Structure 1
């Protein structure tokens, strides 16, 4: 089993953005030493608690502070940007850190309609352009002519000897099909919509067409995990993540709250139970058993672990326990 990390650089209540980013870089160093395969950072906008607005900049800092672990975006929101500029950014990163970069691409609008317009400088871009943008990005990375005839004489620099590994992120069979047809790797977001997982993964494999750099399908699954020495302690730690998800879904404060017990409505309790389908909470033995079951279910040997709880020490403990169980 290969284990990897998705970190969203979320601020805990009472902390600062700088501390959250320092924790992300520290976690990358720790997980590299523990033997994790890759470390990805996310992209979010117009959020008071999620600091990761620019994955490329944060990736550069992470790569500079590590030596071996693959570093990537989970993911760059391509519909809001130019494939040419994204290719330039990742070619620059690949030049600085050869054979270590992952280009994770997402289709998400990045926030509210107004936030998306701010990202595109007021230009109303169609989400239907995403497949064409993915194709153009591939061609800029591979130094072939982009599909858009308007830009056929344009090349992305710097020239590189190696090419970043390209991943499409998705939560439906539609995103999985596109990843397959484009011949990229695919990440399924179990931590967002677990019910779609089996259909998405089957669709990806059935639709896969070999590409210039990838002869066969390659997929992983991202899931929330909270692990501690006892089930009781794991549940106690996970409460802050439960409360955080409630707030995020309501568009409220996106900082991670303290796990101190608060009065929950019946609807809150129902939603927490529903959200628990997106995560595994428990002892190392329980987490290992559940991940092995999901490995068979999804037919994958790699999981990306995401963990958003109040105390950084609890997050680090989860990654240590998983490494002891698997690596």
Structure 2
């Protein structure tokens, strides 16, 4: 099985956004040495706990800092932007780093109404436009918009021999169908909501339309993973992520607290129940246990590639989690 990483540049309590971004750079360099296939960065706005706001800028920096690992977005908030501008941003990245750039896009609005309006300079955009925007985006990337399209005479620049690999990130059969119809890869956000993953994967595979650019479907799923030498250690490390997820859901400060602080935070019975529910979004345990569970998820999603995300307080323990995964999956073989 191939493994890839999604990184949100999480900010631990007592740290700074700059430190989180420097850790992302260190992490991608480590991931490349360990044999991970891809390294994607997120887009989040107006949050105190995540430093990754501009995937395009961060991708350029990370690709410059590495040699061969694929670097991409997970993902650009397409409803807030011009498909033409997104296409040219990523064609430029592909020109600079040929064969290494992934363009992952999602339908997420990116935040509340005020944030959405700020991103679009006050222009209200409707999420139902996403299918049209996605088709336009792929048309700009492929330079094959129909002649009668309003922008059919436009050719995106720079002119290059390769184009970025396109992915749609989603949580539903609808998103899977959009990906299949546009001959892009499909990533299911298991770490957000695992409930509809299997049916979304089946929808994508059954509806996929092959093209010369992409003759075969390409699918992966992203899941929270915390791996440690023992199950107990992994469970302890997971406490910081448990409390972080609770804070995110309640709209509180989203910086990640230490395990020690997490242990001393009193929880209501409802909060404890919510933590157990959120654990369904994660795989937590020893290397052998995590390997078994990720292979099970790979069978569920009918893929040989899983994407993992680890948001815990201690950066060194986060790196160690990725190292243990690489070892147990023998990624460098």
Q: Which runs of 5+ in 2 are unaligned?
A: none
Which residue, 297, 301, 320 being the options, matches 2:300? 297
Q: In the TM superposition, what is the alpha-carbon distance from 1:72 to its structure 2 partner? A: 0.2
- Deviation digits for residues 153-192 of structure 1, max 9, x if unmatched? 2221111111110000001111011111111100000001
Question: Any idea what SS the aligned residue of 2:322 has?
Answer: helix
* Alignment root-mean-square deviation, CA: 1.1
1:29 corresponds to which residue? 29
- Equivalenced residue count is 327
Which residue, 273, 281, 286 being the options, matches 1:283? 286
- Deviation digits for residues 292-311 of structure 1, max 9, x if unmatched? 11111221100101000001
- 1:136 and 1:147 in contact (8 A); partners too: no
Which residue, 315, 319, 323 being the options, matches 1:316? 319
Q: How does 1:159-174 map to 2 (within 5 A)?
A: 159-174=159-174
Change (3 A) 1:108 1:148: farther
Q: How does 1:35-184 map to 2 (within 5 A)?
A: 35-145=35-145, 149-184=149-184
Change (3 A) 1:147 1:253: farther
Q: Which runs of 5+ in 1 are unaligned?
A: none
What CA distance in whole angstroms lies between the structure 1 residues aligned with 2:65 and 2:82?
28
1:242 corresponds to which residue? 242
- 2:147 and 2:153 in contact (8 A); partners too: no
- Deviation digits for residues 279-298 of structure 1, max 9, x if unmatched? 01100011011111111122
Worse-superposed segment, 229-238 or 34-43? 229-238
- 1:140 and 1:146 in contact (8 A); partners too: no
- 1:184 and 1:211 in contact (8 A); partners too: no
1:15 corresponds to which residue? 15
1:263 corresponds to which residue? 266
TM-score by length of structure 2 reads: 0.96
TM-score by length of structure 1 reads: 0.98
Q: Structure 1 runs of 4+ off > 4 angstroms?
A: none
Q: How does 1:204-219 map to 2 (within 5 A)?
A: 204-219=204-219
What CA distance in whole angstroms lies between the structure 2 residues aligned with 1:325 and 1:203?
31
Change (3 A) 1:178 1:167: same
Q: In the TM superposition, what is the alpha-carbon distance from 1:150 to its structure 2 partner? A: 2.5
- 1:44 and 1:50 in contact (8 A); partners too: yes
What CA distance in whole angstroms lies between the structure 1 residues aligned with 2:186 and 2:145?
24
Change (3 A) 1:148 1:306: farther
Q: In the TM superposition, what is the alpha-carbon distance from 1:144 to its structure 2 partner? A: 2.0
